[in-house]
Chains A and B, each alone.
Chain A
Amino acid sequence: MLQFKNLIKASLRSILKNRMRSLLTSLGIIIGVSAVIVMVAIGEGSQARIEQQIASLGTNLIVVFPGVSRAGGVSRGAGSFNRFTLDDVKKLEQETTLLNGVSAVVRAGGQIIGGGNNWSTQVYGVSEDYLAIRNWTLERGENFTERDLRARKKVAILGKTVANELFPDQDPVGEKIRINKVPFKVIGVLKEKGQSAFGTDQDDLVLAPATTVLYRLKGGRFINYINASAVSLERMDEANEEIRRVLREAHRLEEGDDDTFTIRNQSEITEAASETSRVMTLLLGSIAAVSLLVGGIGIMNIMLVSVTERTREIGIRMSVGARSSDVLAQFLSEAVVLSLSGGILGIVFALSISLFLNRFTELYTLVRPGIVLLSFLFSGAVGVFFGFYPARKAAALNPIDALRYE
């Protein structure tokens, strides 16, 4: 192995002897490796963010909404539209075993007046399970109770944005507000969630008991959709089935009838979003990989020039006893050391860019050790592959001609 160590040392010495040229040669690799790592990091970061966002939507969240998703643009028939009532929700609460919580969701637009300010927002009528289902915690105050729902109590929980708009300097809990002129009491404020991946402000909402919203604000019998939380991720599909069974029974659907509603769960959404993200990451990475290839071509070109320039030197080495294999090894190892050094510099550069982006921009990048290792190995492979032809040319030189070369 002493021979190997000497070879590496000799290669490093040769490369450092001509710093500028070495730098320019490996520039293609440096840029290529950084590009690949940064692009993939951006993709991975956005994927992680989306997954995080979706995870924050709820715990094993299942959403059931009326109507059937149109498949391929063909409507499944006018009669297949069925709306939900609070009864459906009650049935689900009572007749299922695989759900941790069920909540009706009744939506209404609301003009809120309170604390001397007013604000227009969405009002969500929900049950006491809603906070748990949607992974929402209270910053202050308390949740609704079953009694509030039964009594159609006029109590409300404010989202952080609404709380800030109406009560910028005081604690909203205990204060009185009006929703569409109906008086309510604030019993809690939600913890901030921030902007969603889709650009909406998740804190711009007001929660109230579903019964209250349905009967006192909206009117009618029908709720918008149902949220539920499965007991566990593993039993998600089973829970889905349970819901289907109960709702089909409730709506008196026969064996051969299609569902008149749609069940979507959180993991499906995550999968779909991740898939898109994954494709994007792959695409970005591939484009960047092309630049890595170009870097390899750059190495080959410069090494070819280098071989020509060092023809005399090769002749000298052969005259003092270097074998063809020695010359091949010398130039090949120079190419590999160049490309690996370029790879390392590219990695360092990419990490700095990634840190910079994370610190100073909205973009979130995630660098996985796997991609770093892969890029490093790939840059080595590029060195071997593109360095081979020049090295072989060098080794094939005739010592007498080489010595005579001007």
Chain B
Amino acid sequence: MQPVIETRALTKTYQVGDFPVHALRGVDLTVHRGEMVAIMGASGSGKSTLMNLLGCLDKPTSGDYFLDGQNVNDLSRNEYADVRNQRIGFVFQTFNLLPRTSALENVELPLFYDRRRRIPNPRQAAIAALERVGLGDRLDHEPNQLSGGQQQRVAIARALVNQPSIILADEPTGNLDSRTSVDVLTVFQELNEQGITIILVTHEPDIARYAKRIVRLRDGLVVEDKPVRRRRDARKDLAAQGVL
């Protein structure tokens, strides 16, 4: 079966003043449908850069990136935007919801920009997505009326709503306390069980263990790529915390 993501010798170099910064030095990564991968590394390891490239927010300096078998290097700027719209769902550390906008409208945003109008009833799809993450009763709430965990769930619903190939989450629990973090990870694990491919970037080993596979980066290269032994179950952990 064709992998969802396949990168070959992916490289990214920035120019900072007079000095070139080699953020990625040739990353080979393959992710199959239904996987849940955690990408780990210290700050400066290149994990954010890798995330930006995988998410088609940026183009690599060299190397190839195949998304659903298509080489994204050949795409124009507009086509890049369409890929972000239809095949990738983002979740950010800082939630990145539109302020003074209801949860429902936030989730509808990708559908607003979908030129192919693949989803005939955007409103319904948005409501369904919010219900899927457990916020069906908070459709009208604006971000300042939602807790951090709830905001992140809205962001996840937004990432889901256009039925993407993958969900990319960049330090999704970075701004959340430990209990809420686990809470959010139950959503990720549930979605993964339903077949959605998820890639998490994190620097916290505890969070990484909720994934099925860990890829470690250091200085722009993959130094380890192993399945997780004794994977944690977020639902169980949440219940256990409740007892304490």
A-contacting 9-mer, from B110-118, B133-141, B182-190, B210-218: B110-118
Chain B 69-88 interface 0/1 with A at a Cβ cutoff of 8 Å (1 = within)? 00000000110011011100
The CA-CA distance from A312 to B86 in the complex, in Å, is 21
- Whether the Cβ atoms of A321 and B77 lie closer than 8 Å is no
Q: Chain B contacts of A317 at CB under 8 A?
A: 109, 113
Bitwise interface map of A from 293 to 328 toward B, beta carbon under 8 Å scored 1, else 0? 000000000000000000011011111111111100
- The answer to whether residues A321 and B57 also contact, given A6-B112, A316-B96 and a CB cut-off of 8 A, is no
Determine the interface band of chain B, counting residues with CB < 8 A from chain A: 20 to 34
CB distance from A346 to the nearest CB of B (A): 28
A321 near B114: Cβ-Cβ < 8 Å: yes
- Complex CA gap A17/B81 in Å reads 27
Interface residues of B in 34-59 (CB under 8 A from A): 52, 55, 57-58
- Take A319-B84, A320-B90, A320-B158 as given contacts and tell me if A313 and B98 are in contact as well, using a CB distance cutoff of 8 Å: yes
B89–chain A nearest beta-carbon distance, Å? 8
In the complex, chain B residues whose CB is within 8 Å of the CB of A269: none
Can you list, as one digit per residue, whether each of A330-355 has a CB less than 8 Å from chain B (1) or not (0)? 00000000000000000000000000
Contact of A319 among B82, B90, B99 (CB under 8 A): B90
Chain B residues, CB < 8 A from A319: 55, 57, 84, 90, 96
Select which of A315, A321, A323 is within 8 A of B110 by beta carbon.
Answer: A321
Q: Quick check: is B66 within 8 A (CB to CB) of the other chain?
A: no
Of the four ranges (under 10, 10 to 19, 20 to 34, 35 or more), the interface on chain A belongs to: 20 to 34
Query: Which of chain A's residues have a CB closer than 8 A to the CB of B100?
Result: 17
- Select from chain B the residue with minimum beta-carbon distance to A322: B113
Alpha-carbon distance A320/B104, docked complex (angstroms): 15
Compute how far the CA of A324 lies from the CA of B90 in the bound complex, rounded to whole angstroms. Answer: 19
Say yes or no: A400-B77 contact (C-beta < 8 A), given A317-B109, A320-B90, A321-B113. Answer: no
What is the CA–CA distance of A399 and B51 in the complex, to the nearest angstrom? 13
Residue in B closest to A399 when the chains form the complex, CB atoms: B57
Known: A399-B57, A400-B57. A318 touches B81 (CB 8 A): yes
Contact A326 B57 (CB under 8 A): no
> Which residue of B is nearest A323, CB measured?
B81
Q: Can you pick out 12 interface pairs between chain A and chain B where the beta carbons lie within 8 Å of each other?
A: A312-B96, A313-B99, A315-B96, A317-B109, A317-B113, A320-B84, A320-B110, A320-B158, A321-B84, A321-B110, A322-B113, A323-B82
Besides A313-B99, A321-B86, A326-B113, 12 other A-B contacts (C-beta < 8 A): A17-B100, A312-B96, A313-B98, A316-B96, A319-B57, A319-B90, A319-B96, A320-B158, A324-B81, A326-B81, A403-B92, A403-B96
Chain A residues with a Cβ under 8 A of chain B: 6, 10, 17, 312-313, 315-326, 399-400, 403
